[in-house]
Amino acid sequence: MLRLMPYPERLLSPGESIVIQFRPHWQALRGPIAGGVAVIAALIVAVMVAEGTVVWLLVIGIVGVWLLASVRVIANWWTTQYVLTTERVVRRAGVFSRSGTEIPLEVINNVAFSQGFLERLVHSGDLLIESAGETGQSRFTDIPDPEGMQSEIYQAREKRQLLLNAGGARTSKADELAKLADLRDREILSAEEFEEQKRRLLAQE
């Protein structure tokens, strides 16, 4: 199985953790896959109708055309990474030159998903994230299980907002610990997240 290169921990802020990370759905490679099937059919025909050196010239030519048409699509798929953390949604792409989009969870207003008929069959689709500020709308394409990802983002946003509200209020550490314990008891925070937030709170002056 092809493994996804982990999101670099050095890019995470203190206390931030990764919720989920993945590549685009394999259906983003539908062009190269369809081309590969056509290449195989063309090679079979070439072997049947040609002989000797001509066969190898045809093979090299057909495979070469397919590679030229497919290598960019495959490279884009391989190097594109979607990451949901406890603080933001991230899209990174590229090898030699990198580009990316980062959306803080607290500025996300709405997350909509869309799927065509064929996309529903293969559990793929697009996400449209609407946020405040300069970002506006960001479309993430070829998302595996977009409805499930929509739910993951909403849950992460709720946890983030509750933590920001708890941290922003001028209350005692005991009150803030009680709020964190309540979030844990309501299963909005996991036990690990509770302990991490508790450690950070107690470390504050």
Question: Is the confidence at residue 113, as pLDDT, over 60?
Answer: yes
The pLDDT of residue 1: 39
Q: What angle do CA 203, 10, 147 make, to 5 degrees?
A: 95
Question: Is the confidence at residue 8, as pLDDT, over 50?
Answer: yes
Q: Specify whether the CB–CB gap between 130 and 179 falls below 8 A.
A: no
**Exposed, middle or buried: residue 143 (CB in 10 Å: 0-12, 13-18, 19+)?**
buried
Question: Is the confidence at residue 173, as pLDDT, over 80?
Answer: no
Instruction: Quickly state the pLDDT bin for 166 (edges 50, 70, 90).
Output: low
Q: 109 forms bridges with which residues in the sheet?
A: none
Nearest to 155 by CA among 89, 91, 201, 100: 89
Quick one: average pLDDT of 113-120?
A: 91
Instruction: Quickly state the pLDDT bin for 150 (edges 50, 70, 90).
Output: very high
Quick one: average pLDDT of 171-191?
A: 72
Distance CA 66, CA 62 (A): 6
Q: Which residue has the higher pLDDT, 136 or 102?
A: 102
51 contacts: CB under 8 Å, gap ≥ 6: none
Q: Which residues of 49-78 are buried (b: 16+ CB within 10 A; e: fewer)?
A: eeeeeeeeebbeebeeebeeebeebeeebb
Instruction: Quickly state the pLDDT bin for 151 (edges 50, 70, 90).
Output: very high
Quick one: average pLDDT of 104-122?
A: 91
Q: 85 forms bridges with which residues in the sheet?
A: 18
